């Protein structure tokens, strides 16, 4: 959520820039960002408008100076501050601005210039209480004021936003104002315990959760936590157990951290926050947008689409997934991400060819409205594809990629081999956790030269963990034909631990051929760059905390030594593993410090664990007979053994 889905960490402009890999400048607590100049072609008006409970929210209205007739309103609501939104007319909002809209930006309740109390991802209200408020009622009241007080509108309103701003867009859908005619929630979180910013399958996202919460709740502005070490891997390791956080640094002053500690399981607190129970109808046409390499909120937008799709009888629910990180479609171009070149300006293409036509049809009655159900970018081949459902229901099959002895993997069940134990093992030591990206690991919102590697870590070459004794690797032979992954991916592990709890991290990786020649760098005669020989590109990944294997609400210890099945959702993908490449799977039990360290011996609340509770344990992954571990994937063409 921080610069991506839900809590992001900076004003929208910074949020979007962060999503693009541009470092956000540190803003001191309480300081106001300088006013941005009004973009050419617009006039600006600031207003404080009343909500139903008397609290006033701050809005900025940008009206085109040249209007040939009434225009729709485009609304964006954010916790990050609206003073810098004007610069988005040169990037994220460029094509919409050229198409003609009145733009309204709003500081949500309790943030920046708006009155009231800010609550991180305020839970939907109790509808039995006529005085209750939430982001849905604030949006309704805002739109009601706008259509009554803003001149020269056609009476229609659209809403969009990225990350936290995408979540406020989802909230607007729950009880929409009659004038709200189209929405586009983009990279919105939907469940902060199951798969978005703060937890994945119950495992706490430490560095992100800590740094986002301290940034958002230090003041109405955004103040970054002052690390005294450049490599936060060392800082978090030196921190020790999570119980040291409040004692040493926060002292109970950060409400969201207090919530983390008080609610380590999927209890009523987290269940109230999720929007999924309310997505039982398609209230307005909805364009859901996600990025395949979103480092913050990939689970949310796809899950929102899937929930709405169950009720989409009028064909008004659409999905777009592109080759982007969190909010990467706001990039002016979008041709590259990290070291990967996708061969076309994917971000600009999406805004021009998908986002603009979508809003134009529903807000201006322009176009045919014949939109594909799903528009996805196929990595590997680097092409946009269109589907009448996602995942596709025809032309696909389910295949299993099995783990085998010697680090091999194949699309056929392994056969017994004399002398083979049938499992692989490693020691997982919380004192020496596997880093989740290349070190040094800068702070998430590092404002220094070069910015933070946070924004592109999902595309980093995974060779940095090759040959670690606590990472298992399984790899196919070079593919004899393309394997097209189109739909669901999941890992099925049969594993055991000498402890009573364990984390399981699974990564699906595209291994490029080693025999790739050097290529000249465009515009620099005589120079060259190595072109991905042996590059290990992560295609899908996630973590699962063993204590939640039966229930997220009621965790239980793992039986030491018992072979236990785990199913780990690796979500969905559209990716082509090219002929000559290899498919790799890596398995490990630490991913630090994006995921907190599991003590590996069951404690009721890991947030209250002490330093002495952490133990090294031996983990086993089985790969024979009824206990054969594998990755299941939906493919367009069934691979041969």
pLDDT in tens, 113-135: 999 999 989 999 988 998 999 99
Q: Are 536 and 461 in contact, with CB atoms under 8 Å apart?
A: yes
CA–CA separation, 58 vs 341, rounded Å?
40
* CA distances (Å), origin 111, targets 82, 106, 364: 10, 10, 32
Token digits of residue 314: 């009028």
Q: Are 486 and 576 in contact, with CB atoms under 8 Å apart?
A: no
pLDDT in tens, 156-204: 999 999 999 999 999 999 999 999 999 999 999 999 999 999 999 999 9
Question: Residue 219: left (phi > 0), alpha (psi -120 to 50), or beta?
Answer: beta
Residue 83: what pLDDT? Answer: 84
Q: Are 453 and 441 in contact, with CB atoms under 8 Å apart?
A: yes
State whether residue 88 is helix, strand or coil.
helix
Residue 35: what pLDDT? Answer: 64
CA–CA separation, 522 vs 300, rounded Å?
38
Q: Are 443 and 452 in contact, with CB atoms under 8 Å apart?
A: yes
Q: Where are the alpha helices (DSSP H) in 105-194?
A: 135-149, 164-174
Q: Are 452 and 444 in contact, with CB atoms under 8 Å apart?
A: yes
Cα distance from N-terminal residue to C-terminal residue, the chain: 41
State whether residue 4 is helix, strand or coil.
coil
In the numeric block, the tokens 């609400």 are attached to 553
- How many Cβ atoms sit within 10 Å of the Cβ of residue 281? 12
Q: What is the mean pLDDT of each run of 10 residues along the chain (641 residues)?
A: 38 34 29 66 96 97 94 97 85 95 97 93 90 96 98 97 97 96 97 96 97 82 83 98 96 95 97 93 96 97 97 96 97 93 96 98 96 97 96 94 97 89 97 97 89 94 96 98 97 98 98 73 41 92 98 98 98 97 98 98 98 98 97 79 46
Residue 519: what pLDDT? Answer: 53
Token digits of residue 478: 């070079």
Give the CA dihedral 377, 193, 80, 354, nearest 10 degrees.
20
**Architecture (CATH level 2) of domain 397-635:** Sandwich (2.60)
Q: pTM for the whole thing?
A: 0.92
CA–CA separation, 51 vs 144, rounded Å?
10
CA–CA separation, 43 vs 138, rounded Å?
25
pLDDT in tens, 344-385: 999 999 999 999 999 999 999 999 999 999 999 999 999 999
In the numeric block, the tokens 């909120």 are attached to 297
For the chain, the residue count is: 641
* CA distances (Å), origin 62, targets 12, 76, 151, 164, 183: 16, 12, 12, 22, 19
Residue 217: what pLDDT? Answer: 86
State whether residue 172 is helix, strand or coil.
helix
């Amino acid at each position: 959520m921080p610069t991506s889905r839900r809590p992001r960490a900076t004003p929208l402009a910074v949020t979007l820039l962060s999503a693009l890999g541009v470092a956000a400048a540190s803003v001191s607590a309480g300081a106001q960002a300088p006013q941005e100049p009004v973009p050419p072609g617009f006039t600006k008006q600031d207003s404080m408008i009343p909500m139903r409970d008397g609290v006033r929210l701050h809005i900025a209205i940008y009206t085109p100076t040249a209007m040939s007739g009434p225009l729709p309103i485009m609304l964006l609501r954010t916790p990050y501050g609206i003073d810098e939104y004007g610069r988005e007319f040169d990037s994220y909002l460029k094509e919409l601005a050229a198409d003609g809209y009145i733009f309204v930006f709003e500081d949500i309740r309790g943030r920046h210039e708006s009155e009231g109390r800010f609550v991180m991802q305020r839970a939907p209200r109790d509808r039995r209480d006529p005085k209750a408020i939430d982001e849905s009622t604030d949006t309704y009241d805002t739109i009601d004021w706008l259509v009554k007080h803003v001149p020269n509108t056609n009476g229609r309103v659209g809403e969009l936003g990225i990350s936290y701003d995408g979540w406020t867009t989802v909230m607007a859908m729950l009880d929409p104002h009659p004038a709200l005619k189209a929405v586009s929630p983009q990279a919105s979180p939907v469940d902060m315990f199951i798969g978005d910013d703060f937890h994945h399958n119950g495992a706490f996202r430490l560095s992100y959760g800590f740094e986002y919460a301290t940034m958002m709740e230090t003041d109405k502005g955004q103040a970054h936590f002052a690390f005294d070490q450049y490599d936060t891997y060392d800082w978090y390791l030196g921190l020790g157990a999570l119980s040291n956080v409040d004692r040493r640094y926060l002292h109970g002053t950060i409400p969201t951290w207090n919530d983390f500690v008080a609610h380590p399981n999927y209890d009523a607190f987290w269940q109230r926050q999720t929007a999924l129970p309310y997505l039982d109808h398609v209230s307005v046409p909805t364009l859901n947008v996600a990025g395949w390499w979103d480092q913050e909120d990939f689970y949310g937008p796809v899950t929102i689409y899937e929930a709405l799709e169950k009720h989409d009888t009028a064909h008004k629910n659409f999905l777009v997934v592109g080759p982007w990180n969190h909010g990467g479609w706001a990039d002016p171009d979008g041709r590259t991400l990290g070291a990967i070149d996708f061969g076309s300006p994917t971000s600009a293409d999406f805004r021009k060819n998908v986002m603009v036509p979508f809003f134009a049809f529903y807000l201006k009655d322009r176009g045919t409205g014949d939109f594909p159900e799903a528009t996805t970018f196929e990595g590997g081949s680097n092409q946009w594809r269109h589907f009448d459902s996602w995942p596709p229901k025809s032309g696909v099959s389910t295949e299993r990629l099995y783990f085998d002895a010697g680090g091999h993997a194949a699309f056929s069940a392994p056969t017994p081999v004399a002398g083979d134990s049938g499992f692989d093992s490693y020691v997982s030591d919380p004192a020496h956790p596997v880093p989740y990206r290349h070190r040094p690991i800068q702070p998430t919102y590092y404002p220094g030269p070069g910015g933070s590697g946070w924004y592109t870590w999902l595309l980093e070459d995974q060779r940095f963990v090759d040959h670690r004794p606590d990472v298992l690797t399984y790899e196919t032979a070079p593919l004899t034909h393309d394997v097209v992954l189109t739909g669901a991916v999941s890992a099925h592990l049969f594993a055991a631990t000498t402890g009573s709890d364990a984390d399981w991290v699974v990564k699906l990786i595209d291994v490029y051929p080693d025999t790739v020649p050097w290529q000249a760098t465009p515009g620099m005669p005589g120079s060259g760059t190595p072109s991905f020989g042996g590059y290990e590109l992560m295609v899908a990944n996630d973590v699962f905390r063993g204590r939640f294997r039966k229930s997220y609400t009621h965790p239980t210890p793992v039986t030491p030594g018992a072979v236990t099945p785990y199913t780990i959702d690796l979500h969905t993908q559209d990716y082509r593993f090219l002929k000559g490449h290899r498919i790799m799977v890596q398995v490990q039990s630490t991913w630090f410090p994006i995921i907190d360290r599991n003590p590996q011996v069951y404690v009721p609340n890991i947030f209250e664990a002490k330093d002495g509770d952490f133990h090294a344990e031996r983990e086993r992954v089985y790969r024979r007979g009824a206990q054969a571990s594998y990755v299941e994937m939906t493919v367009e063409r069934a691979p041969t053994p």
